[in-house]
Structure 1
Amino acid sequence: MLRYLNYLIGAAFAFVLLIALWGTVSELIHNPPQEGAAEEFHLEPKPLHLASDGPFGHWDKQQLQRGFQVYKEVCSACHSLRHIAFRDLTGIGYSEAQVKAIAEQWQIPQPSVNKDTGEPDTRPNKPSDYFPLVFANETAAKAANNNAVPPDLSLMVKAREGGAAYIHSLITGYRPQPAELLEKFPTAKTPPGLHYNPYFATLNLAMPPPLTSDGQVQYEDGTKPTIDQMSTDVAAFLTWTAEPDMMTRHRTGYAAVLFLLIFIGLTFGAYKNIWRDVKH
């Protein structure tokens, strides 16, 4: 009797598994996976040329300051720069007095503890402080951004294939879904709350277009603030945040190469001097 009961239970499990398998197969038949849409319509970043490119590149500090202005007025509402301290901004041409003013006026204060009550508190930022986080935690970030967590931008150029070119292309790449995509992949329509961008790996991302019109940021140096210019400048700034000491590294490399060339010359001269009287 017990053996028949085990057979019955096994048959029931097998039946349930067959139903689940049939449901999965049926779903795949009627709604095939849309990875092909991303593979076919995803675009590679457009080339972007910055002054810092190449081994002999240099920082265009005026451009970096414009990029910081774009970050401050547009990107900082959602994205943090947790690996950058305010005093690091002297590296892009700001004076110590300017850095102090930027830190004090930053819209997000520094978390602190009230000495009298021991309760969480805030205080003005100081040049030695790192840029404060935009959101206190991941839950707060999701609640404010349609259940998506805006990534920190400090190392974004290093973290994304294509670097600065990817950032520039992504910012300028928002557009309506092409009719051809919807014809070939009817179920690949951009879901509500997401935005189509062919430079993003899955074609749809939660971040709305950050730069929507020319003149959105009024540059202090008088440069014409087109969308392309603003996106290029903020990409250049994020290249700097990813590696503020890049030019120091380049200079060290130049010195190392020069030393090796001199060493090779001296070694060759010593070789010729030692072996000059030896006949082959």
Structure 2
Amino acid sequence: MVSLVLRYLNYLIGAAFTFVLLIALWGTVSELITNPPAESAAEEYHLEPKPLHLASDGPFGHWDKQQLQRGFQVYKEVCSACHSLRHVAFRDLEQLGYTGPEVKAIAEQWQIEQPDVNPDTGEADTRPNRPADHFPLPFPNEVAAKAANNNAVPPDLSLMVKAREGGAAYIHSLITGYRDQPKELLAQFPTAKTPPGLHYNPYFPTLNLAMPPPLTSAGQVQYADGTEATVDQMATDVAAFLTWTAEPDKIKRHQVGYAAVLFILIFCGLTFGAYKNIWRDKKH
């Protein structure tokens, strides 16, 4: 008898708890229906990346090595002042068409040297980069990075194409998307004025970012192959280069995939032929 009472008491407590939860849920839902949250400036004025077509796109894409070298030149002369490329080694540049001596010269002439220890004194020292070294960090630590970039740490660019929705198209749109804040935005959202030290860019999720426009005028980089260095061209080239740094084996994987698919097709054909040969004289 006591166990039966306890059982019904548990049922009653559970039902009461469920009822209270339903009341709370209904209150929340009804509030959202009657008073929907106001749309923020970021939600209304944020733009999706513009389409970008690269030679490496699609299952039959390929690396345009001239474009990758131009993109590396943009990174070297513009982006490397703030952004690291710590997952890439100098010797990886041979995949872009540079020769061994050229890679060695690039490593040795890189502005920032590798940290080292003086073997005579044991004190911190530096040495020239070698092809086997990864690209050095532009700042010794996060404190120095923040101090030089309006209290924001510039992200590493090695995997940026994979880390951001939109990939290379996002990078291209972001670089070329700086503009004055629209008057309509300020009229609709007076408190959304871009803070001092930040820059308005509708392709950035919050609309305002600490990085100033990296590419400001045509000819900012003098391409070694003579290509006209417009802002759009430089942005496209560096986006292509960062696509390679994020997936250097992309084209090779596609080629292996072609071979695998061809093997499967041939195997299926042989299997079907064997099946027909074995069962051709059999009656069902």
What is the TM-score normalised by the length of structure 2?
0.86
Residue 250 (str. 1) matches residue 258 (str. 2): no
Per the alignment, residue 210 of structure 1 pairs with: 214
For 1:99 and 1:247, locate their aligned partners in 2 and report how far apart those are by CA, in whole Å. 22
Equivalence for 1:21: none
Whether 2:89 is the aligned partner of 1:85: answer yes
Q: What are structure 2's unaligned runs of at least 5 residues?
A: 1-36
Residues 34 and 188 in structure 1, CA contact (< 8 A), matched pair in contact too: no
Structure 1's 243 and 186: CA in aligned 2 closer, same or farther, altered over 3 A?
same
Correspondence 1:118 to 2:128: no
Equivalence for 1:183: 187
**Partner Cα separation in structure 1 for residue 127 and residue 39 of structure 2:** 48
Cα pair distance change 1:34/1:126, threshold 3 Å: farther
Which of the numbers 33, 43, 47 marks the counterpart of 2:47?
Answer: 43
Moved over 4 A (4+): none
Q: Is the contact between residue 80 and residue 134 of structure 1 (CA under 8 Å) also seen in structure 2?
A: yes
Residue of 237, 241, 263 corresponding to 2:241: 237
Given the superposition, is the C-alpha separation of residues 255 and 214 from structure 1 closer, same or farther in structure 2, using an over 3 Å criterion? same
**Residue number in structure 1 paired with 2:283:** 279
Q: CA deviation at 1:233?
A: 0.2
* Residue of structure 2 aligned with 1:137, choices 141, 152, 155: 141
CA shift, 1:34, in A, is 8.2
User: Partner amino acid for 1:171?
Assistant: I
The equivalent residue for 1:269 is 273
Tell me if the contact between 1:87 and 1:99 (Cα under 8 Å) persists in the aligned partners: yes
**Hey, what does 1:151 align to over in structure 2?**
155
Residue type at the aligned position of 1:186:
P
Number of aligned positions between the proteins: 248
Superposed CA offset, 1:230-249 (max 9, x none): 00000000000001111111
Counterpart of 1:58 (choices 57, 62, 69) is 62
CA RMSD of aligned residues (A): 1.0
Deviation at 1:164, TM superposition (A): 0.3
Helix, strand or coil for the counterpart of 1:139? helix
The CA distance in 2 between the partners of 1:40 and 1:276, in whole Å, is 68
Deviations for 1:137-196, whole angstroms, at most 9, x for unmatched residues?
A: 111110111100000000000000000000000000000010111111000000000000
Which among 67, 71, 75 is matched to residue 71 of structure 1? 75
**In structure 2, C-alpha distance between the alignment counterparts of 1:185 and 1:65, rounded to whole Å:** 43
Structure 1 residue matching 2:40: 3-state secondary structure:
helix
Secondary structure of the residue aligned to 1:218 is: coil
CA contact (8 A) 1:85 1:130 kept: yes
1:197 paired residue number: 201
On the 8 A contact 1:34/1:185 being kept in 2, the answer is no
Is residue 2:102 matched to residue 1:98? yes
Instruction: Tell me by how many angstroms 1:35 deviates.
Output: 6.1
Q: 1:267 to 1:83 in 2, by over 3 A?
A: same
3-state DSSP of counterpart to 2:116: strand
* Equivalent residue, structure 2, for 1:23: none
CA distance in 1, matches of 2:195, 2:38: 13
Q: SS of the counterpart of 1:121?
A: strand
Measure, in 2, the Cα distance between the counterparts of 1:243 and 1:115: 38
Secondary structure (helix, strand or coil) at the match of 1:112 reads strand
Q: Secondary structure at the match of 1:277?
A: coil
Q: Secondary structure at the match of 2:245?
A: helix
What code does the residue aligned with 1:260 have? I
Choose 184-193 or 267-276, whichever is displaced more. 267-276
Give SS of 1:241's match: helix
Q: 1:207 corresponds to which letter in structure 2?
A: M
